[in-house]
Amino acid sequence: MRRWVGLGWLGVYMTVGMSMSGAAWAQDVDYTAQAVTQLSEYLKIDTINPPGNESRGVAFLAGILEEAGIVYETAESAPGRGNIWARLEGGREPGLVLLHHIDVVPANRAYWEFDPLSGAVEDGYVYGRGAIDTKGLGIVQLQAFLALHAGGGRLNRDVVFVATADEEAGGFFGAGWLAENRPEIFENIGFLINEGGSGQRVAERNVFMVEVTQKVPLWLKLTAHGRPGHGSAPQVHTAVTRLLAALNRIAQTRFPPRVVDPVRTMMQGIAPFQTGEMAKQLAVIDTAVDDAEFLLALQLENPRLHALLRNTCSVTRLTGSAKINVVPAEAGAELDCRLLPDQDPQAFVRDLEVLIADPDIDVEHIMGFTPAVSSTKTALYRLLERFLRDRYPGTVVVPSVSTGFTDSHFFRDLGIECYGFSPFLFEAQEARGVHGNNERISVENLRRGTATMIELLERFVLR
């Protein structure tokens, strides 16, 4: 009796009951080619968060690791909220974690060319929610992990493959839960590669952004109180009018701009790839932030870059009456605030309460993380610079700051140097699919990225 090795993703077969040595596995497998089929299968698994159901993805990954003869462990932080990890043991150098998240954000089928869970491979692209964020990265990491295991070489450090739940909702059922409840996974770990970075072709040159820190999320809930009543008899002040006045003050406020060190390095690094006045201003960003016209132009042209120069708050959710003719006793709003890494969150909330200037509005803390910056002076970061320049001559590597957050902050808090690094080179239209419509990655990009990750790991962990 014969069966396919893996979950339909491996183009060789073996007899049940037989095992393949690492050398045999390595000879028979084209890891770059298999990444395409494997990603397609992974994208078909519904791990949309909410509710997550990441245990479905865990089962898929576990099957692949088991067929490769790699010992793994799994844990659910709650029913259906699965996490999985596997370790290749090596020498005493600080270990390396390869991290990605299994969950993906929702997608509206009406705006997609293909079903978001189809994993369709068409016209040189693999389509599906999570193709870039982050099942594509996860498959590349997995392929490199499998290749490293199959090669049988001596490792100078442990290498750990980790796939987690719940990143898209804060990571509390995934990376955060593992850091607290399975700390042994991260003992003697010095480095971690995660999402957050990207490569792009700009002005005939390759530019790789390697994320070293991120703005700190501070999610707040505002609750306004007032006298309830009938909608036919308007009052002078209600919970709703108090809330609207406060939100208007927040929306109209531009928090003072300032330049923190990682942002300065990033802006100066990307300045040569801009044109005209933008290039000049980014090169002297410390003085440019005093120019209101420049800040407005930057916000119109590139809101993400602009957001790195000041604290921000976006009003994202509103709640009021349950009935159109009832004036509610309470009205609420939720704010997605993102703070520069050097900002004291408590001081920011105090300033926000002064801005709100209404004792009948409560400010409640929903979620927030601690700031941390990873060093660019480490062995892994320096290798990334050398390796990318060797592999793609003329490449520029820029340490970057993310406006969004990833699970890296959990591990920076543990003293682990974390880098957002994706081995892909995206075209602009391809990168726009993240959390958008028709998320996709090209077959060429996926295969090239897999080869890049395999070579990077070999150079970092083989003795």
Which of the listed residues 368, 383, 398 is the one where a domain comes to its end?
368
Whether the bond between 51 and the residue before it is cis, its omega within 30 degrees of 0, is: yes
119/184 same-domain check? yes
CATH of residue 132: 3.40.630.10
428/356 same-domain check? no
32/176 same-domain check? yes
| Residue 163 included in any domain | yes
32/181 same-domain check? yes
9/153 same-domain check? yes
227/358 same-domain check? yes
351/415 same-domain check? no
| Residue 242 included in any domain | yes
| Residue 361 included in any domain | yes
139/15 same-domain check? yes
426/340 same-domain check? no
- As beta bridge partners, residue 88 has 159
Which residue's entry shows tokens 């003719």?
325
Tell me, what's the pLDDT at 263?
Answer: 97
Global model pTM greater than 0.75: yes
CATH of residue 305: 3.30.70.360
Q: Which helix (H) or strand (E) holds 191?
A: strand 189-194
- Edge-to-edge strands, sheet with 440-442: 121-122, 125-127, 440-442
331/226 same-domain check? yes
The amino acid present at 129, given as its one-letter code, is R
CA-CA-CA-CA dihedral for 142, 147, 149, 154, to nearest 10 = -130
Q: What is the pLDDT along the chain (463 residues), one digit of tens a residue?
A: 222 223 222 222 222 222 333 333 445 789 999 999 999 999 999 999 999 999 999 999 999 999 999 999 999 999 999 999 999 999 999 999 999 999 999 999 999 999 999 999 999 999 999 999 999 999 999 999 999 999 999 999 999 999 999 999 999 999 999 999 999 999 999 999 999 998 998 877 899 999 999 999 999 999 999 999 999 999 999 999 999 999 999 999 999 999 999 999 999 999 999 999 999 999 999 999 999 999 999 999 999 999 999 999 999 999 999 999 999 999 999 999 999 999 999 999 999 999 999 999 999 999 999 889 999 999 999 999 999 999 999 999 999 999 999 999 999 999 999 999 999 999 877 777 899 999 999 999 999 999 999 999 999 999 8
Q: Rounded distance, CA 59 to CA 68, Å?
A: 14
| Residue 203 included in any domain | no
Tell me, what's the pLDDT at 22?
Answer: 38
Tell me, what's the pLDDT at 27?
Answer: 53
| Residue 338 included in any domain | yes
Tell me, what's the pLDDT at 21?
Answer: 36
228/278 same-domain check? yes
Which residue's entry shows tokens 């293909």?
114
| Residue 270 included in any domain | yes
Token pair for 11: 């183009």
Calculate the alpha carbon distances from 307 to 65, 295, 310, 338 in Å. 41, 10, 6, 9
Tell me, what's the pLDDT at 204?
Answer: 79
| Residue 20 included in any domain | yes
- As beta bridge partners, residue 441 has 126
Domain that residue 329 falls in:
216-368
What domain count does the chain have?
A: 2
Task: Please name the residue ranges forming H helices in 152-228.
Answer: 175-181
165/16 same-domain check? yes
| Residue 356 included in any domain | yes
Residues in CB range of 415: below 8 A, 6 or more apart: none
